[in-house]
Chain A
Amino acid sequence: MEQLKTLGRELAMGSQGGFGQSKEFLDLVKSIGEARSKAEEDRIVLHEIETLKRRIIEPDIPKRKMKEYIIRLVYVEMLGHDASFGYIHAVKMTHDDSILLKRTGYLAVTLFLNEDHDLIILIVNTIQKDLKSDNYLVVCAALNAVCRLINEETIPAVLPQVVELLGHQKEAVRKKAIMALHRFYQRSSSSVSHLLSNFRERLCDNDPGVMGAALCPLYDLIVIDPNSYKDLVVSLVSILKQVAERRLPKSCDYHQMPAPFIQIKLLKILALLGSGDKQASEQMYMVVSDVIRKCDGSSNIGNAVLYECVCCVSAIYPNNKLLEAAAHAISNFLKSDSHNLKYMGIDALGRLIKISPEVAEQHQLAVIDCLEDRDDTLKRKTFELLYKMTKSSNVEVIVAHMIDYMISINDNHYKTEIASRCVELAEQFAPSNQWFIQTMNKVFQHAGDLVNIKVAHNLMRLIAEGFGDDDDGADSLLRLSAVESYLSIIGEPKLPSAFLQVICWVLGEYGTADGKYSASSIAGKICDVAEAHSNDNTVKAYAVTALLKIFAFEKARGRKVDMIPECQSLIEDLSASHSTDLQQRAYELQMVIDLDAQTIENIMPIDASCEDIEVDKGLSFLNGYVQQSIENGAQPYVPEHERSGLPNVSSFRSQEHHVASTHALRFEAYELPKTPVPKAPPVSQLSSSELVPVSEPSYNRDVFMMPSVQSTSDGRSDEIKLRLDGVKKKWGRPSYSSTTPSSSSSSLQKTINGVSSIDGMGGSSSKARDAYDSRNAPVEIPPEKQRLAASLFGGISKVEKRPSSIHKPTKASVYAAEKLNLETLAAGNDTSAEKSRSPPPDLLDLGEPDNDVIASLDDPFKQLEGLLEPGTSNLNATPENDIRSLYTGSTITAQSGVINTHQSNNDRLLSLNKGPNAKDSVQRDALVRQMGVNPSSSNPNLFKDLLG
């Protein structure tokens, strides 16, 4: 900086217009460079903007001067200030005949404007003209602008010219035309879909640069649909061969490597084409091993190509010789002193262990070194690798490391990611319930606000369901350990909201379940929580409901409930709360504890959070009451579709009545703002409707009697809206908000209101789960995680799972089916989630791995299933089997199909008598886990030293 200051001064003093710029610009740069604060800088820049605003509109500015103004504008905008006043001048500059100004203009507009800017329309014409220019440099400048400024709508305007340029004599133009077409494809694939063959054609271009450029769009196309480009394998392989054998002109060499960027692109494409395709892969083996052999491991770019080879080898159908070469390359990377190479090595290792897990063994020390490195990037990459290597034998070590690291960092984005990974691994591989609860506690304590709320709900559900067994000691032990750990943790300050919700819910549900803790002690703790988090309404709501449950359970057990004073005051506070929800809950609590034990037991059954609540949507239990009301002269209910067909004018009429009666003088002008009307006069509406008997003919007449058509329709549409509102509240979920009783069915409405409130109280025990349901449906899994999940489950566990289902079909499938059963049990509770889930037999997808990866990318629920998938069953399989069986093709698919049906049968069988079988599954699960940790399994030694 000092350097710049002195230089700036020297420049300012010594030269006028050095670097082809004026003194003014130098001064500007210098003064900005010397600015001591952001405020000072802003002041200087704002002053500059004022100057430019004045200057730029002066008439007859010399071209050179104008160019400088535009550059100064760009500079100003780069510093973060608005230069939009000058955009139009930049646009004007593109029209200039002088190439100097034209290029500057293009540069400025590509930096200023986006493709949807209004000014673009003024440039399209110029671009069209320039694309036809004789001067190839002008064409290049125009293509550059095309790349940046043409949007979907304007593509057709320039498309013919760009296509024509693909055959231009200058290779630079051809290259850029391909890129422009590629850009069009990215913008809107449909508009250039008929031109995609051009990319293939350009692959045969005489100029290697143009061929290399054509690889970019081809890569994108092949990512989407590899199958229609399989025919390219032969030509791509031969191109790569030619490149590797240095048959390209010398000018393509870079640091003694022949066209490394082209090699890299080719290897990337080959990896895509050869993935899961034995035939295509076999064509590549030769050339890839050639490339690996010729790679110079001492230069950076040589290593780049080598790394790409490893990626390719681990993506295509495996070949032992190549795998060896790749493993060798990886060990060189990891042994290197360069952090960059170590990073690449860890990344490459993560790819290769999917195919040959034993590779990791040789590098365990290097991996642990990387884990302890001070380089964050490397550390994170290593965690990624560990995440991929996790199994039940090493989960404790890995998750412990992850949590330690999670606590140590401040980067919320990564914290979230690593927390969710911890949760995922814990859910998947937990060796014991105790450990699981402890781990979840730690994650929640340190990153509770960052993890998806869904995780909290999952935890509650797991504690509630145990392993699907109601009267087993293990479940109550799990709950007891949860309650104990929460009671010890609850006093700590700054617990995240989501964690407190879990704590409150669990304490409410199970705090008093085994009689170890008294109701009042737990109630006291919960009150403390509610008080300490007085501005978190969700936590308070959970707390009140927990209190309600505790007292209700106490009473149902026949004990006397004496509310401790702090609890009393909390409830009183909350019944005057601004939040209607809290008020509601507080009143509910007060109501419920005054009821007799029998009633309480009915509305608040103990440990029934997993029971299904049957909703009688037709409200048939009210039939008698309705009948009676009708006999007493009430209006029968008119179903919605009848009302929407014939807009109900009864209440409209009554409203007219009401309005007419209150205001003697009325002017049309007051008609318009109608919106608040429906809610405002409910009471009088009610009464007037009783005064005016409604019958079909009368309301027809009414419509015709309306003073102005405009107001009729206004009023009518309002009325329709009102009716729908009413209907929703009546026939939708029971709601507590006082619905505006509407005229025609007021008696019915009242009944339902009465019932719904009771119903609501009963339902409040399931409130947490209700909330869970509604939030569960739109599960948001960040794309980053999706990618990882896809790569993990489409890769490592999938690879290992399949052989296990083939070689040990009985065990694996029974296990899987049981796990499935657990899942369906879980899913059975939340109807909304179940609906959107795929049918159970598909949960454990044993189909083609590729499809699975794609499907899991598309479907968030697939991801969920992936999270819940066991993945431990793989431990019995030996790696050789993995590889052999993975690619034996159609026979496997057939077999797995059989297994699928077998599973679904099993599943059905199991679901008939859930309890004992699920219990078995837990035991067997434990057994499998114990047995899984045997030395013959894939990677036993890696953490031996850590595990001791």
Chain B
Amino acid sequence: MIRAVMVMNTQGKPRLSKFYDFQPPQKQQELIRTVYSVLCSRPENVSNFVNASSIFGPDCQLVYKHYATLYFVFVYDSAENELAMLDLIQVFVETLDKCFKNVCELDVVFNYCKINTILDEIIFGGQVVETNSAEILRAVEDISKLESTASSTISLVRKPVSSWQTWQSR
């Protein structure tokens, strides 16, 4: 089961946090801070897995991926496959990228609702339900249509989180 999803920037500011087991706000802050300090201490080019049993309790692992200014962190237990979780981050970022056309940190900040919707399409109650980014997008667009929200038309010069493309070729 996936225990939590966190997105934070390289300064340690949370951009998105979702805990699939309820944690009181204070505890959430503490967890995010601890995770951030762990991630900071990791050197470049090492594995993406960290044993998180000291942070989230026994049997917990976390996998993280660093894209541009953001860390994407998934916390999960032994019922999940590590490499598959790494790919799930990939799915998430890929979908965000398709959704926002070169996603950047600001998109994550200002589209809190939409990003939550995307995440809910991928992970439901701590379990992976969909991994096809096209399917996810379709569902999200259905919802958007229904809500008849005009999505942002503003395009600014933004630093794209495009490292996933390069990462893929690695």
Contact = CB atoms under 8 A, between A and B. Distances in A.
Interface in A360-374: 373-374
A621 interface: no
Contacts, number: 195
Interface stretch (A260-268, A457-465, A582-590, A637-645): A260-268
A1 B154 contact: no
A81 B58 CA distance: 28
A378 B117 CA distance: 35
Interface size class of B (residues with CB under 8 A): 35 or more
Contacts of A4: 9, 69, 105-106
Contacts of B66: none
Contact of A301 (B16, B28, B51, B87): B87
B159 interface: yes
A402 to B, nearest CB: 16
A252 interface: yes
B10 interface: yes
A343 B63 CA distance: 12
B112 A75 contact: yes
Contact of A111 (B18, B26, B45, B117): B18
B50 A377 contact: yes
Contacts of A21: 110
A849 B46 CA distance: 37
A368 to B, nearest CB: 17
Given A100-B149, A304-B81, A787-B59, A183 B125 contact: yes
Contacts of A343: 47, 49, 82
Nearest to B60: A784
Interface stretch (A10-18, A496-504, A649-657, A923-931): A10-18
A542 interface: no
Contacts of B146: 99, 135, 137
B10 A1 contact: yes
Contacts of B22: 114-115, 148
Contacts of A147: 124-125
B156 to A, nearest CB: 6
Given A107-B113, A375-B43, A344 B127 contact: no
A213 interface: yes
A344 B83 contact: yes
Given A80-B26, A80-B29, A1 B69 contact: yes
Given A20-B151, A78-B17, A340 B43 contact: no
A507 interface: no
Interface string A5-37: 001101100110011110001100100110000
B49 A20 contact: no
Interface in A397-454: 411, 413-414
A144 interface: yes
A914 interface: no
A784 B134 contact: no
A782 B132 CA distance: 39
Contacts of B109: 29
A175 B11 CA distance: 37
B40 interface: no
Interface string B89-113: 0110000000000001111011111
Nearest to A10: B156
B82 A344 contact: yes
Given A137-B142, A137-B143, A377-B49, 16 more contacts: A7-B158, A8-B106, A10-B156, A18-B152, A135-B146, A137-B146, A172-B139, A209-B129, A260-B84, A260-B87, A304-B82, A344-B83, A373-B46, A380-B51, A411-B54, A414-B51
9 contacts: A4-B9, A32-B13, A74-B112, A137-B146, A148-B22, A179-B129, A304-B87, A339-B46, A378-B46
